[in-house]
């Protein structure tokens, strides 16, 4: 037994030493190649990475898959709300849906063949897997949209406060949005990206009202839609922009506080099921368990002796 253990340790140490030496030699060879390339040697041709190959394959599959013309505007709007502004994003999404459907179906078929299930169960599992693969990309897209909306809603009150400061210092609305997008880029990048796109649209020649409407339509955030309505009305009737922004900022903070209070009020109801199924059984075991043990140990012999 000791000789076998010694042999195993020797083999493991030898393999580890060989692996380390190969890695060190690889590092040295790569360093030599890099220095030689700087000295004027021939550079190896470009090899695409696996991610680029996968992306190109999915894009080509998406170009082949037929799409419904009625669903294209809605899908394109959802992709834009999830910050996918590439013109080929629709094709890439269709390719991802086709690939995920095929992968889920093949995985379910392999599992069904290995488990030797009946034909009815095999068809049911395969169909359910295909439906899951078809629905999964859309659900992931909806999740990304919801998360991005939440981040925009979170940064909107602070952005409004900064806009009030910029407007009161003498800046116009266009310069204010540019300054807010520049200052809050690290804290709230999603909202600042939308403001940057709005500024680019106005520079391209669109009217301010149209650019603001596009901002609300791209994000899909209800509070931002209300802010756009306030800014358009303020610009149309010539009222104070700072006062309107301050009032809307206070409204958003009150709304956020009310939502937090609503979630806190719902917390007691949501805790009923975890308490009933997780905490109460353990309390019963701790409190009633010793009593039941003593009853079984002391009373049952007394009843039998009677």
Same-domain status, 76 and 113? yes
Mean pLDDT check: name the lowest of 43-52, 273-282, 290-299. 43-52
Q: Is the pLDDT of residue 49 over 60?
A: no
**Residue range 83-95: mean pLDDT, rounded:** 82
Q: Is the pLDDT of residue 59 over 80?
A: no
pLDDT 10s digits, 139-159? 998 999 999 988 888 888 888
Same-domain status, 106 and 154? no
Residue 283, in any domain of the structure? no
pLDDT 10s digits, 254-286? 888 888 888 888 888 888 888 888 888 888 888
Residue 12, in any domain of the structure? no
Spell out the long-range contacts of 163-172 with Cβ–Cβ below 8 A and sequence spacing 24 or more.
Answer: 163/245, 164/242, 164/245, 164/246, 164/249, 167/241, 167/242, 167/245, 168/242
Same-domain status, 227 and 120? no
Q: Is the pLDDT of residue 42 over 50?
A: no
pLDDT 10s digits, 187-234? 888 888 888 888 888 888 888 888 888 888 888 888 888 888 888 888
Share of the chain above pLDDT 70, in %: 75
Same-domain status, 178 and 244? yes
Residue 36, in any domain of the structure? no
Domain count for the chain, please give it. Answer: 2
**Residue range 224-253: mean pLDDT, rounded:** 83
SS (HEC) of 127-149: HHHHHHHHHHHHHHHHHHHHHHH
CATH number of the domain to which 257 belongs:
1.20.81
Same-domain status, 195 and 126? no
pLDDT 10s digits, 164-177? 888 888 888 888 88
Same-domain status, 100 and 133? yes
Same-domain status, 71 and 118? yes
Residue 42, in any domain of the structure? no
Domain's final residue, options 146, 178, 207: 146
Q: Which two tokens stand for residue 112?
A: 């069904």
Asked if 124 and 109 touch (Cβ cutoff 8 Å), the reply is no
Share of the chain above pLDDT 90, in %: 2
Same-domain status, 160 and 264? yes
Q: Is the pLDDT of residue 14 over 70?
A: no
Residue 104, in any domain of the structure? yes
Domain of 131 in residue numbering reads as 53-146
Identify which has the larger pLDDT, 260 or 23.
260
pLDDT 10s digits, 105-131? 888 888 877 776 677 777 888 888 888
Domain's final residue, options 129, 146, 163: 146
pLDDT of residue 143: 92
**Residue range 53-82: mean pLDDT, rounded:** 72
């Amino acid at each position: 037994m000791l000789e076998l253990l010694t042999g195993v340790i020797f083999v493991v140490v030898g393999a580890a030493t060989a692996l380390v030496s190969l890695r060190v030699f690889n590092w040295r060879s790569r360093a030599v190649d890099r220095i030689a390339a700087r000295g004027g040697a021939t550079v190896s041709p470009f090899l695409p990475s696996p991610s680029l190959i996968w992306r190109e394959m999915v894009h080509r599959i998406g170009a082949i898959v037929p799409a419904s013309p009625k669903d294209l505007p809605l899908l394109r709007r959802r992709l834009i709300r999830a910050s996918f502004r590439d013109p080929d994003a629709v094709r890439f999404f269709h390719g991802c849906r086709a690939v995920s459907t095929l992968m889920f179906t093949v995985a379910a078929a392999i599992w069904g063949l290995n488990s030797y299930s009946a034909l009815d169960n095999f068809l049911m599992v395969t169909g359910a897997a295909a439906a899951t693969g078809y629905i999964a990309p859309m659900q992931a897209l909806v999740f990304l949209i919801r998360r991005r909306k939440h981040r925009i809603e979170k940064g909107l009150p602070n952005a409004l406060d900064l806009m009030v400061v910029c407007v009161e210092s003498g800046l116009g609305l266009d310069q204010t949005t540019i300054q807010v997008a520049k200052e809050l880029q690290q804290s709230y990048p999603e909202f600042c990206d939308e403001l940057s796109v709005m500024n680019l649209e106005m520079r391209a020649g669109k009217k301010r009202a149209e650019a603001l409407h596009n901002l609300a339509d791209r994000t899909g955030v209800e509070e931002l839609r209300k802010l756009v309505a306030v800014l358009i009305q303020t610009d149309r009737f010539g009222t104070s922009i700072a006062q309107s922004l301050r009032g809307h900022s206070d409204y958003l903070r009150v709304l956020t506080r009310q939502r937090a209070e609503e979630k806190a009020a719902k917390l007691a109801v949501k805790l009923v099921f975890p308490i009933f199924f997780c905490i109460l059984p353990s309390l019963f075991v701790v409190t009633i368990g010793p009593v039941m043990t003593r009853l079984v140990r002391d009373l049952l012999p007394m009843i039998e002796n009677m």
